[in-house]
Amino acid sequence: MGIVNARNPGETEFHQAVKEVAESVSPVMEKRPQLARARILERMIEPERTVMFRVPWVDDKGEVQVNRGFRVEFNSAIGPYKGGLRFHPSVYLGIIKFLGFEQVFKNALTTMPIGGGKGGSDFNPKGKSDVEVMQFCQSFMNELFRHIGPDTDVPAGDIGVGAREIGYLFGQYKKLTNTFTGVLTGKGLEYGGSLVRTQATGYGLVYYVTRMLDDRGKDWNGLRVVVSGSGNVAIYATQKAQQLGAKVIALSDSNGYIVDEKGINLETVRRIKEVERGRICQYVDAHPHAEFRERWQDIWTVPCDVALPSATQNEIDEASAKVLVNNGVIAVGEGANMPSTPEAINVLQDAGVSFAPAKAANAGGVATSALEMCQNSMRLNWTFEEVDTRLKRIMSSIYDQCIAAAQEYGMGGNLVAGANIAGFLKVAEAMIAQGVV
Ligand code: NDP
Ligand code: 2IT
């Protein structure tokens, strides 16, 4: 870790992500000295390629704006680089590298042939007009297009990048290259998108947690669930949990959280968030019995059986984890990437809470992206049921891989260790087979 920190100064999120994997795989390295001799971990923590670029664009007032763009192509041992783009003002190299690093192992767990990458920009889509978002996306693609391709690197959405942004990015790629290919996933259904991709991360999260609950002899029926965020992942995790009989009572955004003891009305949330691009506080206008509270971090004080952090990194810290435990939480499933601090994970695992790590639990999104790539290659579309059945099967297989790997290395039941080890081994074997490249 000394070397990682010194070679990547200031990239605290990246340090955090590497430390967790390095700790998990240390028993593997002891058992398999050939991995250490091949310097596998040292090679994995160095991205194969990092691109940083200027993104100039003109806003509605005619003023020139300048943002910074990133694409980190982390690892292509098992397939083309694959991973989302994040547009958020907090984006810098350390965030894109932590996301890209995690993506490598997550993608390996999906059983699909995809390597790992991530990209994005410090552009803030909030409050921008559609024209401004389009101007930005076109300028972003003016540089990105030369680095990506359907067999090279296939970006998708993440925070701040949804169907609208993917559409503008795709249009510009097509224009610049004069090709119609599956170079991005999360596309609209009219032009090559896959059914279920919109729902996939949230649904997949709930499918994974279902397996975990099942191992405790429980199902979702009647459980009180708190979901943080109110974006793509949060909305569809809520929808699936509700379909399975759970009562979702809280959601949030970066201004605060709402609590509805009667159960969240998801139609209202979807109108506010997907149609109007509004704020979660507007929920109480339609449902006056519900409550809006400021400080999104405090959402974990709402007593619940299951917590699904689905907003952003490090949103559950040690203190929040203790509150969750004291309130009797039985399961935590990470919808967001790295939403729990290492201290929080320790508190939850020590208390016997079932803990589903992001790499495994939120892999349904990228797995369905890989199914979209598959359909694009065949120039065919599967039905909703076909894709959903495959997604369920993939989430179940990820769960089985995590359980088996944890068991084999003496950490039975520890899904964090299991996910890291299973993902690591698959990538490591592929790297060894391909030589020192
Ligand atoms: P969206 O942009 O659709 O929604 C993000 C939500 O999280 C919004 O409610 C947003 O609130 C909130 N949020 C984001 N950043 C912060 C912050 N710094 N502080 C407080 N609240 C914040 O993104 P997604 O739902 O797609 O992504 C959510 C998480 O899931 C991310 O960690 C992402 O990496 C992860 N993920 C997403 C996948 C996907 O397929 N989309 C796949 C796997 C993981 P506000 O509007 O106020 O900013
Ligand atoms: O973090 C993630 O897995 C995503 N944002 C989805 C990536 C993808 O390529 O679908």
The two tokens of residue 282 are: 């507007």
Low-confidence ranges of the chain (pLDDT < 70): none
As a whole number of angstroms, the distance between CA 314 and CA 312 comes to: 7
Residue 366 beta carbon below 6 angstroms from any ligand 2 atom: yes
Tens of pLDDT, residues 248-272: 999 999 999 999 999 999 999 999 9
Q: What is the pTM of this model?
A: 0.98
Ligand 2 atom nearest residue 155's Cα: 9
As a whole number of angstroms, the distance between CA 238 and CA 236 comes to: 5
Compute, in angstroms, the gap from residue 32 CA to the centroid of ligand 1. 38
Ligand 2 atom nearest residue 158's Cα: 5
Compute, in angstroms, the gap from residue 436 CA to the centroid of ligand 1. 37
Compute, in angstroms, the gap from residue 85 CA to the centroid of ligand 2. 8
Ligand 1 atom nearest residue 88's Cα: 15
Topology agreement, domain 32-180 and domain 200-361: yes
Considering only CA atoms, which residue is closest to atom 11 of ligand 1? 253
Considering only CA atoms, which residue is closest to atom 29 of ligand 1? 336
Tens of pLDDT, residues 91-138: 999 999 999 999 999 999 999 999 999 999 999 999 999 999 999 999
Quick one: pLDDT at residue 66? 98
Compute, in angstroms, the gap from residue 285 CA to the centroid of ligand 2. 33
- Strands (E) across 167-246 are located at 224-227
As a whole number of angstroms, the distance between CA 43 and CA 58 comes to: 40
Domain 32-180 class, CATH top level: alpha beta
Instruction: Find how far residue 173's CA is from the centre of its chain.
Output: 24
Give me the amino acid identity at 69: G
Compute, in angstroms, the gap from residue 247 CA to the centroid of ligand 1. 21
Ligand 1: lining residues by beta carbon, under 6 Å: 90, 157-160, 162, 201, 229-234, 253-255, 296, 310-312, 335-337, 362, 365
As a whole number of angstroms, the distance between CA 423 and CA 78 comes to: 11
Residues 6+ apart with CB under 8 A from 390: 371, 382
Question: Domain extents for the chain?
Answer: 32-180, 200-361
Residue 156 beta carbon below 6 angstroms from any ligand 2 atom: yes
As a whole number of angstroms, the distance between CA 279 and CA 25 comes to: 41
Compute, in angstroms, the gap from residue 100 CA to the centroid of ligand 2. 10
Residue 82 beta carbon below 6 angstroms from any ligand 2 atom: yes
Quick one: pLDDT at residue 17? 98
Q: Give the active site residues.
A: 118
Quick one: pLDDT at residue 37? 96
Tokens 């793509």: give the residue.
232
Is the separation of the CB atoms in 335 and 361 below 8 Å? yes
Considering only CA atoms, which residue is closest to atom 10 of ligand 2? 366
Quick one: pLDDT at residue 290? 98
Q: For residue 281, which ligand has an atom nearest its CA? A: 1
Ligand 1 atom nearest residue 200's Cα: 40
Considering only CA atoms, which residue is closest to atom 9 of ligand 2? 83
Q: For residue 358, which ligand has an atom nearest its CA? A: 1
Instruction: Find how far residue 2's CA is from the centre of its chain.
Output: 27
Residue 158 beta carbon below 6 angstroms from any ligand 2 atom: yes
Compute, in angstroms, the gap from residue 326 CA to the centroid of ligand 2. 33
Ligand 2 atom nearest residue 186's Cα: 10
Alpha-carbon separation of residue 62 from 136, 143, 357, 429 (angstroms): 13, 22, 45, 53
Q: For residue 235, which ligand has an atom nearest its CA? A: 1
Sheet of 153-156: strands edge to edge? Answer: 49-58, 64-75, 116-121, 81-87, 153-156
Q: Which CATH number fits domain 200-361: 3.10.129.10, 3.40.50.720, 1.10.260.40, 3.30.420.40?
A: 3.40.50.720
